[in-house]
Amino acid sequence: MNRLRILVVEDDGIVAYLLGQVLEGMGHEICAIEGDEAGAVAAAARCKPDLMIVDEHLGRGSGLGVMDDVLLNGPMPHIFVSGDTNRILAQTPGAIVLEKPYFEADLETAIRRALARQSSKVGADLILPTVSGSPPANRRCV
């Protein structure tokens, strides 16, 4: 996979930091980490990321609101992450959703699907966490 510039939208500082570390370990660049809706929308305009990873529930605002605003300016590959995937899929049927908690392999699959979906406009995907047994060798949990 090519190196991507990724904008992380996550209001939990520890989760945002860990996700950034995992993404950098995968070879990607974190162009910004934002914790609220207004900051995320501004960062998307400023950074012009290749991909956005967006937590649905933010302390101030929502991930769905972030993407509603960002997508007004054109297509943007994105992945929603949440513990409540049903809510996202009910409100945004075409969404790619990664259920928390998830492993690096799940994240990689979601990234590939978001990029492929952007180019082909296929339907929704729900990426469920790897729950059987322990995580694959050398894989971190986010």
The per-residue pLDDT for range 53-102, each reduced to its tens digit, is 999 999 899 999 999 999 999 999 999 999 888 888 888 887 999 999 99
Tokens encoding 120: 């082909």
pTM, rounded to two decimals? 0.83
Q: What is the mean pLDDT of the chain?
A: 86
Domains of the chain listed by start with CATH number: 5-127 (3.40.50.2300)
Residues near 44 by beta carbon (within 8 Å), at least 6 away in sequence: 7, 52, 66, 70, 73, 76
Q: Which two tokens stand for residue 11?
A: 């209001």
| Rounded Cα distance, 94 and 103, in Å | 23
